[in-house]
Amino acid sequence: MPEFRYGPVEFFLLGMPEDRPAPDVVAELGRLVATGLVRILDFVVIGKSEEGEIVVTEIEEDDDRFGLTEIEIVETGLSGSEDIDQLAERIEPGTSAALVALELTFARGLAATLAGSGGVVLAHERIPAPIVNAVVDAAEQEVVA
């Protein structure tokens, strides 16, 4: 079985009404990292002015300003400029977003075992939490009715 240094990585573009993540969001990321289930590989804040000007801040440059001094960011520069430019199009003028690359450390062993057996992931789809919760709530309402 191959030994993988990293598990699968997912990019999250987290929209924010301010120019930085809210303290409770930072605290939750810290809690999640502390569990060992994920590691933050990269963290980039992308701001868009009212005029549409994009400002990109790699967190290693300014982690004090964003309240991330207690969270280890394992790799930086993983988010390429093309990725950032493409994702910046989704940000509304006058707001910002955090592009967070999360390594799913809990899946590293599965990824290594699958690769070692000659297998591959044929598909992967994430269902956003609001959708999952709405579907479960609707199903529970039907059972009650």
The string of pLDDT tens digits covering residues 83-142 is 899 999 999 999 999 999 999 999 999 999 999 999 999 998 889 899 999 999 999 988
Q: Residue 88: what pLDDT?
A: 93
- Say which residues have a Cβ less than 8 Å from residue 94's Cβ, sequence separation at least 6: 48, 49, 50
Average pLDDT, the chain: 89
CA 86 from chain centre, in angstroms, equals 16
What percent of the chain has pLDDT above 90?
Answer: 63
DSSP class of residue 71 equals S
In terms of phi and psi (left: phi > 0; alpha: psi -120 to 50; beta: otherwise), the region of 60 is alpha
Mean pLDDT of the region 62-91? 84
pTM of the model: 0.83
Whether 104 and 10 have beta carbons less than 8 Å apart is answered as: yes
- Helix, strand, coil percent content, the chain, rounded in steps of 5: 35, 20, 40
Q: Give the confidence band of 30 by pLDDT, cuts at 50, 70, 90.
A: very high
Which of 38-42, 52-56, 138-142 is predicted with the least confidence, judged by mean pLDDT? 138-142
